[in-house]
Chains A and B, each alone.
Chain A
């Protein structure tokens, strides 16, 4: 029987000829990633009684959640991580001047086809955009991997999500992701592998593919995955930190379900508060007054995202009642956006350019909302209280929708200005 892409990677990594959904395999992950939560993980690691981590070359730690530290507690967490990194000789440590972990994993060449990546963050599904198996795990499990070098994984059943057709003007990967999540629902793919395929996916940039795998977590998936191709190879060419193998699903692979979408029918989408699957066509949202626009995050803080916003805002000023915060996903993104004049255009339009990091996405750092305020965010979650204030509302949309909304002061349709 044929295997899906996820099954093939897990079989290969487990040293087996084939695996079946439901079967458990034990693998040594290619990389195990954690961020500021490494402070909690290292305490759990110490409880195991193991002195040295199994392999200091395979542990990746990236500080991104609260950078630079806003309080003494956070500063002490960072301090304990830096000490641990030195003590253990962990090579892949990226301090506060790098960027959001899921973006850094791609830029620094960890996201490689055929690899198995696990991380203590729910959006560790992101590296799937490179044809890797990537999933979020718990903190104790990261500590256990640090100690033993292995993790057991239940081979998930796979769903196939096929998207064909050309995306209309003003419609982006984020709109497609929201549309799919609205359809499948927030629990519709729990514990499943979701494999995205079809001409629309093949036509997408790497950055756009990352939006889909990043947001796979929002339908409950264990992992999201896209077959690697020439674009993937082009991206990793000068970045890859190790060998990789491009794998393909078998022709006769068995998928538990198949979903098909026609991208040419799509319109811009908005996820209303307080769940990601509360998705509406933009028509339902037009005119909703917005106090803060948040452009950034591991979902939509890449160059193409800032660029489309700059295209819309060039030579214009954002609405006087709106605060617009821009958090490039990494310093590499920041530098490229700077070189290309994108940051200058956004700043001239009245946006506040912040330092790369998770920012206000999870309410632990800059850009918290006031009571009764509404935010249009390009992030992946809009749960009540997510951005630090349970009395605020979060609407999710694409970077283009964010930019036109900042311009008008209320949720607006990017197709009007593109």
Chain B
């Protein structure tokens, strides 16, 4: 169970993880402490493991930096649910083991910040306990599910070599 952090359209990688930190090597905790700092300064202070992000279209456009995914994962985000994702961001999410879920606009619109939600990645079900509705999404297919379960593609390969 976690809470929703709701954001809008076209959130770019610079506000998810500022460019000025990109070439600084950081621990996961330090990365998490800068997550979304230029968009929502309250996020890093209050996020809890199991929380999810719900956003509009084109989440994560801009740079290919993987930290924009890593910092959210390190902050405990369990899934990002959006109307659409930028191409490289989407690939980075999966390859780093953070589920990226696409829903239709009308479904995205039903979520509000602070809603209590349960996301079942295996079954493809999101239950909004605050509002009392569930949304289904197609579960990830085999290989992608394996990558997500392993926590990323490199981990997957190491475990299965």
Contact = CB atoms under 8 A, between A and B. Distances in A.
Contacts, number: 50
A48 B161 contact: yes
Contacts of A69: none
Interface string B69-102: 0000000000000000011101100110000001
B158 A26 contact: no
A50 B86 CA distance: 31
Interface string A37-62: 00000000001111000000000000
Interface residues of B, number: 22
A140 B154 CA distance: 9
B143 A26 contact: yes
Interface stretch (A17-25, A285-293, A347-355): A17-25
Nearest to A47: B154
A152 B140 CA distance: 11
B16 interface: no
Contacts of B157: 48-50, 144, 147-148
A55 to B, nearest CB: 15
A49 B158 CA distance: 6
Interface in B104-159: 138, 140-144, 147, 153-154, 157-158
Contact of A152 (B64, B87, B138, B143): B143
A222 interface: yes
Nearest to A153: B91
Contacts of A150: 143
Contact of A25 (B91, B141, B154): B141
A191 B88 CA distance: 9
Contact of A138 (B91, B138, B154): B91
Contacts of A152: 94, 141, 143-144, 147
A148 to B, nearest CB: 6
Given A140-B95, A141-B91, A147-B161, A24 B144 contact: yes
A288 to B, nearest CB: 32
Contact of B158 (A22, A48, A138): A48
B154 A48 contact: yes
A364 interface: no
A340 interface: no
B87 A190 contact: yes
A150 B95 CA distance: 13
A49 B143 CA distance: 19
A364 B21 CA distance: 28
Contact of A24 (B87, B140, B158, B160): B140
A330 B102 CA distance: 43
A320 interface: no
Contacts of A169: none
Nearest to A220: B87
A257 to B, nearest CB: 15
Contacts of A148: 157, 160
A147 B143 CA distance: 14
A331 to B, nearest CB: 34
Contacts of B154: 47-48, 140, 144
A154 interface: yes
A191 B91 CA distance: 11
Nearest to A146: B157
Contacts of B147: 152
A64 to B, nearest CB: 23
Given A22-B102, A25-B141, A26-B143, A191 B87 contact: yes
A349 to B, nearest CB: 42
Nearest to A51: B161
Interface string A127-147: 000000000001011001001
Nearest to B147: A152
A272 to B, nearest CB: 24
Nearest to B159: A49
Interface in A148-169: 148, 150, 152, 154
Contacts of B141: 23-26, 152
Nearest to B140: A24
A150 B160 CA distance: 13
Nearest to A156: B87
Contacts of B102: 22
A217 to B, nearest CB: 12
Contacts of B91: 138, 141
B142 A23 contact: no
Contacts of A22: 102
A144 B153 contact: yes
A396 B86 CA distance: 28
A25 B143 CA distance: 8
Which 8 A-B pairs give the minimum distances between C-beta atoms?
A26-B143, A191-B87, A48-B157, A50-B161, A152-B144, A147-B157, A24-B141, A144-B153
20 contacts: A22-B102, A23-B138, A24-B141, A24-B144, A26-B141, A26-B143, A26-B144, A48-B154, A49-B157, A138-B88, A138-B91, A144-B153, A148-B160, A150-B143, A152-B94, A152-B141, A152-B144, A154-B90, A190-B86, A222-B87
Given A23-B138, A144-B153, A191-B87, 14 more contacts: A23-B141, A24-B144, A25-B141, A49-B157, A49-B158, A49-B161, A140-B95, A140-B153, A141-B95, A144-B154, A147-B157, A152-B147, A190-B86, A190-B87
